[in-house]
Structure 1
């Protein structure tokens, strides 16, 4: 399937952030006190999504019970009630912004004190040895202060805890480490979202790796197909990004885009299929992962539809993960006994740092 842009032209990217919460929670029919408490949660956890998600994926007639709404928007049950009340009271008192921010940092620090995801052995700032033959790299969203490096914001729903990121200037150190460890044959780019980088910044991270004879595979974890498929269709650097993908596969390396999907509705818009076709046209493979999320997709029909549709679109379902019982994960966790019975067919279930 070839994607055809509408006659009106490609849509412009629109970020939806905490500044837009009042508008959207009002649209969802929440009472003023509920909206204020959600604002308090967002002060701690942050809130980022795209106009594409709010305009194309959420069924507002069913909000706040709509599964995509639940997936994207904060919920007061994500934090201890006492902490939510504490920050809500500050908003109600029109407390200074710095005081609210300081209180939010204290609450956030408590969440991550003992629950930061274990990424493996830290070998460099933003780089971890996760397996005998693979290194995980968490790239900075803006490795160098160039205006064309980023076209869209960090779409990570909830913070993943403290940690360093890797700038393009650190890649030389990574190369030196890999040369000293020839058993490492794969590099995985993950973190907030590597495709939140523009093509120039992504190229400065990936291209030097191709000089390593030992390198066999590159994996890029991204939520772009679910949150903003135009990143690989009509964005200013979409073509250059795909040329980089072609360069990786032409070098003989296996390139995988690990796409995150949590609900079958995320696969429905035509731009998703168009973006998948363009990625596959470069020789890259699109694998998919998703979390089992209470009140969002914790039923067999949702997963059967998700996987079957992905297969028809040329993607390869790879893993179902479950929520950690730490941080905000308790709000969406599904008991393992029920998780085992949920899928329509056996899958590999493993703990996830988040969706």
Structure 2
């Protein structure tokens, strides 16, 4: 199989778009203005094998990866444009930083309630929200082969260290995990951990396979590589090394879950993607897929039905249908909760039982993962039926609660509790210290 070379394109390469489509100088300028606030990166695989250039403005992958002036409020767009015109670099940086702060760069109190303590100080690059699961952010894995423009991890990519989560050189996260025997699952996340070379990824994986972390029985790796650069698993110059490392995880007796971010069925249709899936399954990895509902990308029943059907056929477990988090350019991409529920119900009712493993629509909030389970009538009041599929307080899991139906609500903060007893499930908790170990 011929080896493909990954080519990355950022804001400085915008002229590459002229190779693919007729695009005006004004459109490229607007692209650049938005790019001063939000991150942009695309690669040759997305450009050559995913985007349909015969209709780019209607193509899900063009919308998924390209910037649009409507991602910024008009006043913010104008402020950035003025700062660029004035040529004052510091002023432009200040304007961009102020806009980013208003875009809620760290939703769900993740920097205050999720970062654990070890010997009285926070553990860099680690989040511990649920008792059983820790998230690890490898410092070299906080970028991607291409950026999804809706991504809730966008602050990782804008070059502001104060917004970035990443491990430090001491890798104190390993000491924390060795001490916390309640942790059974470790999720390597980003960015994309598989952007790292296999030799670098090994530094994070090997410490989890020893006897001191025998309580860690599942290792998850969150990645978009299967969708945006499947050659990572097949023809990259260290693809064989990566596969060997992943196989070592399986042979150690751990459950290896590749948590794939797949937004559209076309990502699974290329020969390169199918080859990558077969290679991962051959070593005993378990493949799970998740994505939010994104307006203009997958906000229809047919797309999700095709996606889940294709995944099951190829040996992938449909896992979550998410609701976009309350961060970044969400206003450009979000759909109402009622619409997300209709899409979920429409799709899940048209697939086999094996594809109904997908849970949704799910809001990943500071309190936990809230599932919108349905709509019911209580005494003449139309109501959302909700439950937690995961929660900081395990006692909340699968306890139904209710909110007044609102066909404009797009997030939990737009919901009103039905009764006083439902209020605690929808109230934002007071900030508190994350779990500690001394």
Query: CA offset at residue 131 of structure 1?
Result: 1.1
Q: Distance in 2 between matches of 1:45 and 1:191?
A: 17
Q: 1:90 to 1:178 in 2, by over 3 A?
A: closer
> How many Å separate the matches in 1 of 2:236 and 2:310?
25
Once the two structures are superposed, the pairs formed by residues 123-202 of structure 1 within 5 Å of their partners are: 123=116, 124-141=123-140, 153=145, 155=147, 157=149, 158=151, 159-160=154-155, 162-167=163-168, 169-171=169-171, 173-202=172-201
In the alignment, structure 1 residue 331 sits paired with structure 2 residue 332: yes
**In 2, Cα distance between equivalents of 1:26 and 1:36:** 17
Provide the rounded CA distance (Å) in 1 between the counterparts of 2:6 and 2:86. Answer: 32
CA RMSD of aligned residues (A): 2.3
TM alignment of 1:31-42, pairs within 5 A: 31-42=24-35
Q: Could you say which residue in structure 1 is the equivalent of 2:217?
A: 216
User: Cα offset for 1:118?
Assistant: 2.9
Q: Distance in 2 between matches of 1:142 and 1:222?
A: 10
Measured in 2, the distance between the counterparts of 1:193 and 1:177 equals 22
User: How far apart, in 1, do the equivalents of 2:208 and 2:332 lie?
Assistant: 39
Give the alignment's TM-score, normalised by structure 1: 0.87
CA contact (8 A) 1:14 1:51 kept: yes
Q: Contact 2:220–2:256 at 8 Å: present in 1 too?
A: yes
Q: Normalization by structure 2: what TM-score? A: 0.72
Higher alpha-carbon deviation: 17-26 or 129-138: 17-26
SS in 1 for 2:165: coil
Deviations along 1:310-342, one digit per CA (max 9) or x if unpaired, are 111111111110112432112110101111011
d(CA) in 2 for partners of 1:352, 1:86: 32
Change in Cα spacing, 1:202 to 1:114, as seen in structure 2 (3 Å) is closer
| Unaligned stretches of 5+ residues in structure 2 | 117-122, 157-162, 349-355, 366-438
Partner of 2:102: 110
Name stretches of at least 5 consecutive residues in structure 1 with no aligned partner.
Answer: 144-149
Task: Give, in angstroms, the shift of residue 125 of structure 1.
Answer: 0.5
Runs of at least 4 residues of structure 1 off by over 6 A?
none
Larger displacement relative to structure 2 (94-103 or 324-333): 94-103
Q: 1:314 to 1:102 in 2, by over 3 A?
A: same
The number of equivalent residue pairs is: 336
Give CA-to-partner distance per residue, 1:159-201, whole Å, 9 cap, x none.
Answer: 136133014x333x22322232211111111121010111111
* Residues 1:100 and 2:92 are matched in the alignment: yes
**Larger Rg, first or second structure (1 or 2):** 2
Residues 65 and 234 (structure 1), Cα distance of their counterparts in 2 relative to 1, 3 Å cut = same
Displacement of 1:86 after TM fit? 2.0
